[in-house]
């Protein structure tokens, strides 16, 4: 979770990241690689603090993934895959669908538009609403 002040992130209290890996990769090596290659390159250092908790593959080895490792595929963790509780969501799923499915491609297109509106300085926040049949 993050801490916010006036809608802006001011601190990161915890990071949870699970990633599939080869059988021969140790948890220690995986955690070190994730911290070096992902955390240090993606999360702004000024938002991390000495009490930030890092949960890297907290359930242990993650060798078997995809539909073999999970019961089902479509619609899993759809809110986590998008914006958490930050924006409205119609409930469509991304996983298990090819790009021709409009609910998947429209969600990605809407996110692209909103991101670029904010990046261009046209708004501080942007939420896109679309409908399709």
Interstrand relation of 53-56 and 2-5 (parallel, antiparallel or unpaired): unpaired
pLDDT for position 32: 97
Tally of domains within the chain: 2
Domain that holds residue 18: 1-63
Q: Are residues 25 and 81 in the same domain?
A: no
Structure tokens that stand for 86 in this block? 């930050």
How far out from the chain centre does Cα 101 lie?
21
pTM summary value: 0.59
Q: What is the CATH number of the domain that holds 4?
A: 3.30.300.10
- Note whether 53 and 107 are same-domain residues: no
Q: Are residues 51 and 76 in the same domain?
A: no
Q: Are residues 53 and 3 in the same domain?
A: yes
Domain end residue (candidates: 47, 63, 79) = 63
Q: pLDDT tens-digit profile of 87-121? A: 777 766 777 666 777 777 888 888 899 999 999 99
pLDDT the model gives residue 31: 96
14-54 per-position pLDDT tens digit: 998 989 899 999 999 999 999 999 999 999 999 999 999 99
Contacts of 106 (CB under 8 A, 6+ apart): 130, 132
């Amino acid at each position: 979770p993050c801490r916010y002040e006036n809608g802006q992130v001011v601190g990161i209290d915890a990071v949870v990241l699970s990633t599939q890996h080869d059988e021969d990769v140790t948890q220690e090596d995986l955690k070190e690689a994730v911290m070096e290659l992902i955390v240090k390159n993606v999360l702004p250092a000024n938002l991390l603090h000495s009490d930030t908790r890092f949960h890297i593959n907290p359930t242990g080895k993650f060798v078997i993934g995809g539909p073999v490792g999970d019961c089902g595929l479509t619609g899993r963790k759809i809110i986590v895959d998008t914006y958490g509780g930050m924006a409205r969501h119609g409930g469509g799923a991304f996983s298990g669908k090819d790009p021709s499915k409009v609910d998947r491609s429209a969600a990605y297109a809407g996110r692209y538009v909103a991101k670029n509106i904010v990046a261009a300085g046209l708004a501080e926040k942007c939420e896109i609403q679309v409908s399709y049949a």
